[in-house]
Amino acid sequence: MTIELYDLAGAEDERRFSPNCWRVTLALAHKGLDCRRIPWRFTEKQAIAFSGQGAVPVLVDEGEVVADSWRIALHLDRKYRREPLISGEHARGAIFALKNWLERAVHPAVLKVIVLDLYSHLHEKDKAYFRESREKRFGMTLEAFAAGESAAIVALRQALDPVRPVLSEQRFLGGAAPSFADYLLFGPFQWARVMSPKRLLDPEDPIFAWRERMLDLHGGLARAALGYPVWA
Amino acid sequence: MTIELYDLAGAEDERRFSPNCWRVTLALAHKGLDCRRIPWRFTEKQAIAFSGQGAVPVLVDEGEVVADSWRIALHLDRKYRREPLISGEHARGAIFALKNWLERAVHPAVLKVIVLDLYSHLHEKDKAYFRESREKRFGMTLEAFAAGESAAIVALRQALDPVRPVLSEQRFLGGAAPSFADYLLFGPFQWARVMSPKRLLDPEDPIFAWRERMLDLHGGLARAALGYPVWA
């Protein structure tokens, strides 16, 4: 039975932009598992109501429903022991902290740079929902939130300081090969790449070279995605 | 041959306050290794010149000299295989990132709360050095840096957001038992505890309960240190 993943899409079915869904797409590839990625939009809450909540990713694996990318990663490691995403208890706690840090420090910094491009690539039926929910969250219009782009890029690069020394020393956060930590960090970059032509990183940045390695993984899965391929 | 650790001290030889030295003190206890903790002050650069740099911790282990707490942890795991501090490649990258995050986000937030208390407990011969070097770094006087204590405590608690969900789910960042990640996070709390009566955490915070567990480890080693024992 094929694994199914409900996966956030933009205007086109093939524009898959959610950072949290990309974590799972790459985690499945890491394990060598096939999956059917079902395009889903923010306003299609009914389509995933069976999961008991309203956000993607939602994974359906032989009838078992798992929502939330962190819980999905733990599920995959429990059920499919080969090629661990998170190897050992010491890794689990530290990668969970890394996830929380990324969502608080890095995702918002990326969103500030790309939000208007992102909005322009949403499906028409999602635009009002996105604008209203995000403007409520930010306490300002999308346009006001997006103001000051060059300062936002500087802030993003600074927000990435904790991982830069790691990627100067080793090929992946996981060491010689990627762990789930790499997929977590890659999520916001792929989010940007699919939705925006903005250049987030200096090509001299060790994170830039790491991102190239991530794009090459699993047969160039992320590189092949519909988006803005030129980043140099 | 006993391991020696050059360990930052305050006015009294027994007031050991460096967060980075506490990482190592607890790492040695974790491995069941004895060590002689030699009191050292900021201005005693000559005493550690043999290490080729000017900061503690400096470890001397059977003639091998290792400076920097991260390099010391890796050295201890290489040389003494029992009770790993950092188990596996997935843990190593993520814990290194956690270290970098702590030093950028949490250490400065703690220092802002405790800096004047810390200054008052320094050895007389270190006071001018500390004031001058830190005022240069902050771009303001110690007193100006310390202004706004209650806002600084709020900011510190917020800075800790990435680790709070981890410590709500498990006893230590390392899982059921501590890893080096726990000693890294504990460093700034012990820094505060040795130098300041300020109460950093709400007793309802899961990080508060974790800190109690950390104080109990290894026969209550950190709890027994000269400092401010009442925290509730």
Q: What is the pLDDT of residue B91?
A: 98
Q: Report residue B1's pLDDT band, with 50, 70 and 90 as the boundaries.
A: confident
| Residues of B in Cβ contact (< 8 Å) with A88 | 87-88, 90-91
What are B111's two structure tokens?
């220092």
Q: Which residues, other chains included, contact A49 with Cβ-Cβ below 8 Å and sequence gap of 6+?
A: none
Query: Residue B65 has what DSSP assignment?
Result: E
pTM check: above 0.95: yes
Q: Which residue has the tokens 């300020």?
A: B198
Give buried/exposed letters for B33-68 (b at 16+ CB in 10 A, else e): bebebbbbbbebeeebeebeeebbbbbbbeeeebbb
Prior bond to B57 cis, omega within 30?
yes
Q: What is the pLDDT of residue A1?
A: 73
Q: What is the pLDDT of residue A230?
A: 60
Give the Cα separation of A152 and A109 in Å (integer).
Answer: 7
The whole-angstrom distance between B222's CA and the closest CA on chain A is 22
Strands B64-67 and B58-61: antiparallel
Query: Residue B226 has what DSSP assignment?
Result: S
Percent of chain A having pLDDT more than 90?
97
Q: What is the pLDDT of residue B85?
A: 98
The end-to-end CA distance of chain A, in Å, is 41
| Residues of A in Cβ contact (< 8 Å) with B88 | 87-88, 90-91
CB of A100 within 8 Å of any CB in chain B?
A: yes
Which chain B residue has its CA at the smallest distance from A181's CA? B94
pLDDT in tens, A170-224: 999 999 999 999 999 999 999 999 999 999 999 999 999 999 999 999 999 999 9
Q: What is the pLDDT of residue B232?
A: 42
CA dihedral of residues A147, A149, A153, A154 (deg, nearest 10): -80
By Cβ distance, the residue of A161, A173, A176 closest to B94 is A173
Q: Are A163 and A207 in contact (CB under 8 A)?
A: yes
Whether A101 sits inside 8 A of B166 (CB atoms) is no
Of B130, B148, B126, the residue nearest B138 (C-alpha): B130
What are A11's two structure tokens?
């205007």
pLDDT in tens, A51-87: 999 999 999 999 999 999 999 999 999 999 999 999 9
Beta pairing partners, B9: B16
Average pLDDT of span B167-183: 98
Cβ neighbours, 10 Å, residue A82: 9
Of A209, A215, A213, the residue nearest A227 (C-alpha): A215
By Cβ distance, the residue of B90, B97, B165 closest to A88 is B90
The SS3 call for residue B17 is coil
Has residue B188 got a pLDDT over 90?
yes
Cβ neighbours, 10 Å, residue A218: 16
Give the phi and the psi of residue B205 in degrees, each rounded to 5: -70, 130
Q: What is the mean pLDDT of chain B?
A: 97
**What interhelical angle do B19-30 and B69-79 show, nearest 10?**
10
Strands A3-8 and A35-40: parallel
What are B131's two structure tokens?
């004031």
**What interhelical angle do A149-159 and A107-120 show, nearest 10?**
140
Cβ neighbours, 10 Å, residue A148: 13
Between chain A and chain B, the number of residue pairs with CB atoms below 8 A apart is 115
Percent of chain B having pLDDT more than 90?
97
Give buried/exposed letters for A1-23 (b at 16+ CB in 10 A, else e): eebebbbbbbeeeebbbbbbbbb
Q: Which residue has the tokens 């491995």?
A: B31
The SS3 call for residue B208 is helix
Q: What is the pLDDT of residue A145?
A: 97
Give the Cα separation of A87 and B175 in Å (integer).
Answer: 12
Q: What is the pLDDT of residue B230?
A: 60
Q: Are B97 and A182 in contact (CB under 8 A)?
A: no
